[in-house]
Amino acid sequence: MTLTTIDCDYTGPEFACAFLRVEGDECAFVETNTSHATPRLLDALARAGRAPEDVRWIIVTHVHLDHAGGAASLMKACPRATLLAHPRAARHLIDPSRIIAGATAVYGEEAFAQLYGTIEPVAAERVRALEDGERVPFGAGELTFLHTRGHANHHFVVHDPQADTVFTGDAFGLVYPRLQRGRVFALPSTSPTDFDAAAAVDSIARILGLGAATVSLTHYGQHREQAEIAEQLRAWLEVSRAIVADGCDVAAAEARLAATLEDAVTRAGLTLDANDRRLLSLDLRLNAQGLAHAASRADAPRR
């Protein structure tokens, strides 16, 4: 059994990763990052002494492009692999036109290409959609998939008992290695367009309930301090819920998140440098956009 964390160098080091699992004769990737990361993933496979033909599963926790943008590119390189995805994600991997149009509208064509490269469709017969609780065989064991809403409606997590971990995608927050300085420092991702605070809290409980030794986060790496991470996420999510309930716009949401950040930084005993602040301000901006979007939805919970 091996589990390798692969730094995808997405917008910088130790910001987004993918995982390689080797179990007996079989290999699996969890997350693909973007097509720019495909050579890094294949390089990790070669360093593990395995060939692209050994890859049985390519798994994406959800369809956001820092997780699944490289799926088609990696599938092309691994001829025997099947792509495993949430049913709501699978259709966008088979026909990525809506994702491409959405991201191009946000970033513009040039920045889109720089960030994500090209995104091709994946042949439908190579994609398998997994229902909540479904299992697939892997080596001598199996992987279990649990649907976890809150961050995105097309999100699942993967329980891997052999590695004694849960691959949590964006459902167990962001825990950047550079901000772990003796104490845990975690924050959730509440980016657009599906954020649901109550569902996010339920998903955290579901992940903890699996009782795995570690959580493996796409942002970033493996962590043992699940209880502390969960406690910090719940506090942030309570603030986030209130921001949605108050009907905040992006600016108001961002101001309240910035105040919450200062409290969290003080509590963690952190001193932030300019680079830390830059990293966190990007997340807070995205989180504020997600909360304002949730507040504007017709079904938004009110106080």
Task: Please report, as ranges, the residues that interact with Zn ion according to CB under 5 A.
Answer: 64, 170
- The nearer residue to Zn ion, 64 or 159, going by C-beta atoms, is 64
Closer Cβ to Zn ion, 63 or 248, answer by number: 63
Cβ-contact 204, 17 below 8 angstroms: no
Rounded distance, CA 133 to CA 54, Å? 25
Q: Least distance (Å) from Zn ion to the CB of residue 63?
A: 8
- Provide the strand spans (E) within 126-258: 127-129, 135-138, 141-147, 156-160, 165-169, 214-217, 221-223
Q: Minimum CB separation from Zn ion for residue 241, in Å?
A: 19
Name the residue nearer to Zn ion (CB basis): 170 or 254: 170
Taking the complex as a whole, the smallest distance from the CB of residue 131 to Zn ion amounts, in Å, to 21
Taking the complex as a whole, how short is the minimal distance between the CB of residue 151 and Zn ion, in angstroms?
6
Residue 167 CA: distances (Å) to CA of 129, 174, 213: 17, 13, 12
Comparison of 1 and 105: residue with beta carbon closer to Zn ion = 105
Distances (CA, A) of 18 to 6, 8, 218, 222: 5, 7, 6, 11
Residue number of the CB atom closest to Zn ion = 64
Beta carbon nearer to Zn ion, 213 or 282: 282
Residues 175/229, Cβ–Cβ less than 8 Å:
yes
CB of 278 vs Zn ion, minimal distance in Å? 20
Beta-carbon contacts of residue 106 (< 8 Å; ≥ 6 apart): none
